Structure 1
Amino acid sequence: MDLTLLYRGPLASCDFDCPYCPFAKRRDSGEQLRADRAALDRFTEWATGQTGDRLRILFTPWGEGLVRSWYRRALVDLSRLPHVERVAIQTNLSCRTDWLAEADPETVALWCTYHPGQTPYERFLGKCRELADRGIRFSVGVVGLPEHREDARRLRAALPAHVYLWVNAAEGHTYTDAEAEEWTGIDPLFPYSRRPHRSAGLPCRTGESVISVDGEGTVRRCHFVKAELGNLYDGSYRSALRPRACPLAVCDCHIGYVHLETLPLYDVFAGGVLERIPAGGPPSPGGMLLRGA
């Protein structure tokens, strides 16, 4: 079986205090952290044993995972399994990077978000340069708030040319055409993020070749559809996998709409869907066909 898994355990703590994030500066108790570690260890053990499958894994924690040793170890160990094609995580990049020396750079990847005001610019840029020097696959992005625009331009100019800088439309923010044009000048793929995508009744890879897994092993088609398909650990989810249309009116998150079959994003990000890296490197302004955006 060829399967993409979006794993989100109970971890909800973060070391940043972003005003647009409900989990900012949240602290998990010791008991909660132990539960998260146990859940991740169980998932990693399961993935290790799936030698007959071809797996791609993206960790999407509510909090910041890479400040926890068990997430770093999971990425290293999973990256070295021959049946794992890609293992990636969403991160604010506040962690050190030396642990990546143990990982397979052909398999591991990072989806990094820069949060102006939460970390010094030079420190974040330095971490990005460390990743590039280590040959690690990574993308970098920002939330498209007006006060972030100049930081995004500055970062785009300073990053290595092969690193893609994406821009996420800010939740609840409406962009004028002029504002959207400015953001598109930084990220030519911003039009995909600008507005939610109509998805009701449209074919989506989630529930067939893409699934969401929580810390208990409960399998759903994606993070945004609550209907359960079974459990990962007893194998009951497998009989539920099949082509499915989306039951929601719209999809407004990249980790959801990237899997819509009506959008060309599997071609745009071929080989880098999980870590959000376009095929062939960063697109040039006006150089991408934005069908369905």
Structure 2
Amino acid sequence: MDHQAKDHLTILYRGPLASCDYACPYCPFAKRRDTPDQLRADRAALERFTEWVSCQDHPISVLFTPWGEGLVRSWYRRALTELSHVPHVERVAIQTNLSHRVSWTSDADLNRLALWATYHPGEVPYDRFLGKCRELAERGVRYSVGIVGKPDHLDAARRLRDDLPTGTYLWVNAAEGHVYDDAEAASWTDIDPLFPVSRNPHPSRGLACRTGETVVSVDGAGTVRRCHFVPAVLGNLYDGSFRDALMPRPCPLGKCDCHIGYVHLVSLGLYDTFAGGVLERIPALLDRP
């Protein structure tokens, strides 16, 4: 399947890092600490991955989805910066809580770099988070901002929507396990017109999905899976064994309830909705950006 090796490949990378500086009650990795050995292993794995991406000869986009907070670690900032300068890397993005300084972005190619930022009320002063967003805008960094749609987050979300720099998209993730009545859903949709896409899990079994064909998930050892949510192994990144497994395949799961999964479902048409911003979750056009 040499022709597939030359096609655009999107990689969701999640290494061993599992430590975070926040204590969000809805996250199992809150305030978790990695040992020095675990951090060294994560750094080595990330550097190996970065080198592999840099040495390829076909278009690649990368979204880092660490369990913990990556950008407080120098090796994640360095990896993003380095990959943003690789000609065949079309986009490099990361999910982050913005607890780090953002001045490092001045060394990156801002035509390729993007940040997927999440605001966690109670974990960071509002003005500090908003200030980071405004600094990103001033620096010309491409980014989206999000919040978990918990009932007690609604006022903070409304405030953030009003205060964010013009043109910044604020997305809302449905809170896991929470059932929204129509009135609640309408309140969140006023903030994020695309909230209806997140409101309920999407039935996915048997449906066409780009994961496993043009999108893959990679862990620190280079193990390749179709996505973070399907455990079946397709091969290994570093020995190239995954390439022969790249092919169209239906989703084997009953439902998909995470944006980084269902955005790739063909039936939802979200590649059109997020054209040019699939990885960083920035819609191509909204009536109220």
Equivalent in the alignment of 1:81 = 86
Q: Distance in 2 between matches of 1:118 and 1:284?
A: 27
Equivalent in the alignment of 1:13 = 19
TM-score where L is the length of structure 2: 0.97
Post-superposition offset of 1:264: 1.3
Equivalent in the alignment of 1:61 = 66
Percent identical pairs in the alignment equals 72
Post-superposition offset of 1:174: 0.6
Q: Distance in 2 between matches of 1:284 and 1:199?
A: 29
Q: Distance in 1 between matches of 2:102 and 2:127?
A: 15
Match of 1:111 among 99, 116, 120: 116
Equivalent in the alignment of 1:291 = none
Post-superposition offset of 1:206: 0.1
Q: Distance in 1 between matches of 2:98 and 2:179?
A: 28
SS at match of 1:272: coil
SS at match of 1:53: coil
Equivalent in the alignment of 2:195 = 190
Q: Does 1:284 align with 2:288?
A: yes
Q: Distance in 2 between matches of 1:237 and 1:156?
A: 42
Match of 1:39 among 33, 45, 49: 45
Equivalent in the alignment of 2:268 = 263
Equivalent in the alignment of 2:143 = 138
Match of 1:125 among 127, 130, 146: 130
SS at match of 1:242: coil
1:71-106 Cα offsets, whole Å, 9 max, x none, are: 000000000011000000000000001100000011
Are the structure 2 counterparts of residues 229 and 283 from structure 1 closer, same or farther at C-alpha, using a change threshold of 3 Å?
Answer: farther
Q: Distance in 1 between matches of 2:186 and 2:83?
A: 40
Q: Which runs of 4+ in 1 moved over 2 A?
A: 282-285
Match of 1:156 among 161, 166, 183: 161
1:36-63 Cα offsets, whole Å, 9 max, x none, are: 000000000000100x210000000000
The Cα RMSD (Å) is 0.8
Q: Distance in 2 between matches of 1:2 and 1:138?
A: 22
Q: Any stretches of 5+ residues in structure 1 without a counterpart?
A: 286-293
Corresponding letter in the other structure for 1:47: V
Q: Does 1:27 align with 2:67?
A: no
Match of 2:245 among 235, 240, 264: 240
Match of 1:252 among 248, 257, 268: 257
Equivalent in the alignment of 2:4 = none
Q: Does 1:272 align with 2:277?
A: yes
SS at match of 1:262: helix
User: What is the total number of aligned residue pairs between the two structures?
Assistant: 283
Q: Does 1:226 align with 2:231?
A: yes
TM-score where L is the length of structure 1: 0.96
Q: Distance in 2 between matches of 1:283 and 1:223?
A: 32
Match of 2:176 among 171, 178, 184: 171
Q: Distance in 2 between matches of 1:249 and 1:161?
A: 39
1:13-35 Cα offsets, whole Å, 9 max, x none, are: 00000000000000000000000
Equivalent in the alignment of 1:288 = none
Post-superposition offset of 1:161: 1.9
